[in-house]
Chains A and B, each alone.
Chain A
């Protein structure tokens, strides 16, 4: 039955139909809260002996890139602070290594403010990837026009919108270190940005969040709260709470669609790997034109 119907189409249309039916796979690799953990943890570390390490992560990423055609590599913030590498080199090494691993984008965590906006800017000159910050308004600071709300990627035949959402800095970061940064409501800004990306025709929308997974105070903005209170986000890649997840959690958003949340602990102990199989079929009107 199926084959006889295809015979009605001419050969050109038939080829086109087959082409769009081909399944493509997007692989999203992600980290969060890497906290200057360049080396593996020492062998006598009580919790994570000989685990993690950037050179190993780089090899793993290379291997995946060899096997997979369409890879996005993202980070959800707190790149800085945690080992003496940061105290001695002030973020230069972290940025250079992330650039060498070909990160596509990152957002800022609260600890990325630890050497002030000037310190971040100095380190950022060694980054060849954008920092996505939709809800920090840096207009009156040295970071003006140094970050962007979102970036659109084209991979696996998909238009992918990625944006960043940061945590409230007041009470968490010394005021001297964030200066005149204006904090915008994270849920509202996330919804506005995701809507914009949707209206620009994005097929898949990712939020890099440093809000934290969830809190006992349900009113506090978190990834779980954002997952339930959004309309257009497919995937939230989180950070801040150093939450180790076995697999993404699935939430029903305001459109009654799934929003997934994932986070991979901290210190580069794990690399998150999300696979999106894109079977996008052209509309009927396209198939017969």
Chain B
């Protein structure tokens, strides 16, 4: 009996010297069935009213729901086309021009129905401005590799078919092309290091978001392209 007791005490001391942690985890969904904390709703309310007054302005209509994704997407096409049309409307250059944006830079979706100023702020919340870069034609190879590696970014006035990037208007005489993008990307954001090859740079003072707002207003019904631009 005493011998057994000794074993028990030794056993207890061994268990005792280690702390024992059991960990389990889950996520709790927050949805329409969740109640609101009234103090918080009331606190948000004046901020919301002020935001709504500014943001509920209807700019246009969308006939479909537009999302962003890779390799190309309806929202990516809309955004890059809007930038291209807006920037080239009154500009005529002998050298080819195309637009390149980043998939990660379009932060939300546009639902079917009215498109508000708030929707545009949600897809483009950043204070990024428009930049034109004149690049040697050879840099297109680097852009092509980048698009292959990343899986696709929004482009306009260009197509990538079977991994080969083609910009409209490029001929055998072409030495330079212009890329319209944002200051964030031109400065090396998202590792678009090929922009370092630029021989000329023109920083427009226009915000990309303001371009989207202007074009949405002009289009009234958003012009949708479901073309697969990156293949």
| Interface set of A (CB-CB < 8 Å, partner B) | 1-2, 4-5, 8, 35-36, 38-40, 42, 44-47, 50-60, 62, 81-89, 93, 96-97, 100-101, 114, 171-172, 174-175, 203-204, 234-235, 244-248, 258, 260, 262, 264-265, 268-285, 287
Contact = CB atoms under 8 A, between A and B. Distances in A.
Q: Nearest 8 pairs between A and B by C-beta?
A: A284-B13, A55-B36, A56-B34, A44-B111, A58-B37, A270-B27, A59-B37, A274-B25
A271 B191 contact: no
B55 A84 contact: yes
Contacts of B40: 54-55, 58-59, 97, 100-101
B113 A44 contact: yes
B30 A270 contact: yes
B201 to A, nearest CB: 16
Given A51-B29, A203-B19, 20 more contacts: A5-B5, A36-B125, A52-B30, A55-B44, A58-B37, A82-B107, A82-B108, A82-B122, A84-B122, A93-B44, A97-B40, A235-B23, A273-B25, A273-B28, A276-B22, A276-B23, A279-B22, A281-B16, A281-B19, A283-B16
Contacts of A244: 27
30 contacts: A5-B5, A5-B9, A39-B44, A46-B109, A51-B29, A52-B30, A54-B44, A55-B44, A59-B35, A82-B107, A83-B125, A84-B55, A85-B47, A87-B125, A88-B54, A93-B44, A171-B191, A172-B189, A174-B184, A174-B187, A174-B189, A260-B25, A265-B27, A271-B28, A272-B26, A276-B21, A276-B22, A281-B18, A282-B16, A284-B12
A56 B55 CA distance: 23
Contacts of A46: 65, 67, 109, 111
Contacts of B48: 38-39
A89 B18 CA distance: 50
Nearest to A281: B16
A215 to B, nearest CB: 13
Given A275-B23, A281-B15, A55 B41 contact: yes
A128 B120 CA distance: 32
B91 interface: no
Interface residues of B, number: 60
A115 B71 CA distance: 30
Given A52-B30, A272-B27, A284-B16, A47 B109 contact: yes
A84 B30 contact: no
Contacts of B20: 278-281
A270 B29 contact: yes
A189 to B, nearest CB: 23
B25 A84 contact: no
Contact of A175 (B12, B16, B187, B190): B187
The interface centre, meaning the residue of A58, A260, A275, A287 with most chain B CB atoms within 10 A of its CB, is A58
Contacts of A60: 28, 30, 34
A89 B187 contact: no
Contacts of A284: 9, 12-13, 16-17
A228 B50 CA distance: 47
Nearest to B15: A281
A53 B29 CA distance: 11
B31 A50 contact: yes
Contacts of B39: 58, 100
A40 B41 CA distance: 11
A59 B31 CA distance: 12
